[in-house]
Amino acid sequence: MADNLFSSTDKQYYDNLIKKIKLCDKQYYIDDNPELNDADYDKLRQELTYIENKYPKWKSIDSPSAKVGYTVQDQFKKANHSKAMLSLANAFSIKDVAEFVNKIQKFLNINEFPKLCVEPKIDGVSFVAKYKNHEFYQGITRGDGKIGEDITENLKVISALPMKLTKNAPQELEVRGEIFISKEDFATLNKTQEENGNKIFANPRNAAAGSLRQLDTKVTANRNLQYFIYSVIADNFAVDQFLALEKIRNLGFNTNLHSKLACNISQLQSIFKSISEERFALPYDIDGMVYKINDFNLQDRLGEIARSPRWAIAHKFPAEEAKTKLEDIIIQVGRTGILTPVAILTPINLGGVIVSKASLHNEDEIKRKDIQIGDIVNIKRAGDVIPKITSVDLSRRKNTKLFIFPNNCPVCKSKVIKEEEEVAVRCIAEYSCKAQILGKLRHFVSIGGFNVEGLRDKQIEFLYDKNLIKSSYDIFTLEIRQNDTALKLENYPGWGKLSVNKLYKSINSSRNITLDKFIYALAIKHVGSNVSTLLAKHYTSINKLLTATNNLKDKDSAAYLELVNIDGIGNKIIAAIIKYFSIEDNMILVKNLTTELTINNYIISNINSKINGKIVVFTGSLSKTTRLEAKAKAEKAGAKVASSISSKTDYLVAGEGSGSKLSKAKKLNINIVTEEEWQNLL
């Protein structure tokens, strides 16, 4: 991704993006009333993925990179996907695309340009349609990527979607695509909504989503929904993406006829430029182009990472810019104590959204761009809910004043510090600053953590101010403590018996959680979703994790060496983990939580693999594959990839030029295998 998309290394900016996305998800998926237009919402999700790729230590289960879509709502039946529905990584320039191709070449150890299938990125709603014995039998929304909503009856009323297939179709077939409303139908729909005094939809994508998830199929039928298929799942259906689109089109499905093949970067540029210039004449909305490795065999080799495939990327159309006045600068304090300056702007309409704030990231960013209060600034929306200030119009500077960054936390008045190798200014009162405590509580109950519905920002702050919740443990004892108090929660303004009972139900339903999500919810510094998964995968149970944490201070202990040996966990993360578990109050909190919760062991899904649960180390040069691909395949088969040899290592895969690791493995009598023997194990 281009560096100018994210010029700051401010962790608080990342945390703010997560918070804003959660709000947008609620507005879009639950309220059907988004404030952010859909193209920019999608760009925001992609920017977060970029940030987490560049700063993996920040990666969080609570971000879009660990969550696809949304939580399934109660009014629809749940349906499992046969294969996870992933989202896409994001590119904002041809340079980003070139980097994407370069990574693929390195991963596959090839020099030639991999042929790409280029498809317009429809700004619609993802869906799945399943067929058996040539007949349609189930429709599912994307949901969270693993579980969606059963919309079978709603798909039946989309006239262009085949309900029966010809005999030359596979016996079992699954198609995936985007449902959308045309620009013309959207305008007509909103006109009708307005005339009938109903809600006006913010954009076509939102209208399509609301139409598709109607309990009354008559409403869906009247919305004239359309679709394009972009993916097929069937045995031996096609050898590549372009052929698959042609074959599925011949079976009666709609596919986008603007899809093309590209054999080099110049062709990609030409296709992108052509579609970009004519997209406003298209009858439907698109917000970019999707580039996919055309060869399915190469797609399988590349696999996926987190929520995105390695073999595809979305190339987004350029962002919009405008000028406005910077009225003031305020400071926000996040859960990690980072002080983030936020620009208060004279409101301006930018791309259909009223913008009144912009992130300034950190003190260095303000100095670097020479930003002063009262300036006329250029703002850019490249996917931000809170846009960026790109520059200052110095020719119009007058009567401005410098912003002085505070020496004390604006919330708790404690001293602030700038740690070594960080540009962020941080409040030192980690466990007493109200802003940080509330931030940790919000993080704990967030979608990526315990996902407690009805316990969001306002409710948490209210309960905290009333001394009803001071720690995450208090959440799970709230109901029983309320039974012993005279002033019931339901008697407070804004609360009622119905809402309180709903909250208790939500809390109780969240008492069962997986180990990786539990670790993430603890809000340990630098421990995001990737690290949480690595820790859960390695220790597998909460008891083993807690046993290990008792000896982490001793650098000669087996527990410390075991932690250091986990591939993907660096020194800064190790230090943060040790610090967290060395604080007695944290250990008491975790142990108390275990008495209220069921923390499920981490289970490797590939249980039939010979290397499932085994610890594997790679050394030397591999001839048949790259180390990156070898590690990815090992992890996919359930292995734990470590960075160094220990007595617990199960296999050392030794390539050419193996050195000290091979010598150590021989001394420890570790099972040493050649690359060929390793391939046989896989």
- Enumerate the active-site residues: 121
Q: Return the closest-CA partner of residue 400 out of 371, 379, 378.
A: 371
Phi-psi region of 430 (alpha: psi -120 to 50; beta: other; left: phi over 0): alpha
Whose CA is closest to 604, among 537, 681, 516?
Answer: 537
DSSP assigned state of 415: B
Residues 6+ away with beta carbon under 8 Å from 267: none
Helix (H, G, I), strand (E, B) or coil at 212: helix
CB 314 within 8 A of CB 90: yes
Tokens of 576: 């943060």
Return d(Cα 505, Cα 499) in angstroms, integer: 10
Q: What residues pair up with 78 in beta bridges, in sequence order?
A: 149
**Bridge partners (DSSP) listed for residue 164:** 135
Asked if residues 319 and 311 have their Cβ atoms less than 8 Å apart, the reply is no
The backbone torsions φ and ψ at residue 267, rounded to the nearest 5 degrees and listed phi first, read -65, -40
Q: Count of CB atoms within 10 A of residue 279's CB?
A: 17
Q: How far is CA 584 from CA 515, 545, 581, 588, 591, in A?
A: 21, 16, 7, 6, 11
Measured CA to CA in angstroms, residue 251 lies from 85, 131, 178, 179 at distances of 23, 12, 18, 18
Distance (Å, whole) CA 461 – CA 539: 34
CA-to-CA distance for 278 and 298, rounded, in angstroms? 32
Q: Residues 360, 371: contact at Cβ < 8 Å? A: yes
By CB atoms closer than 10 A (0-12, 13-18, 19+), residue 497 is exposed
Tokens of 440: 């940790």
Q: d(Cα 477, Cα 407) in Å, to the nearest integer?
A: 38
Rounded CA gap, 266 and 257, in Å?
Answer: 21
Write a three-state SS string for 147-175.
EEEECHHHHCCCCCCCCECCCCCCCEEEE
Cβ(615)–Cβ(635) below 8 Å: no
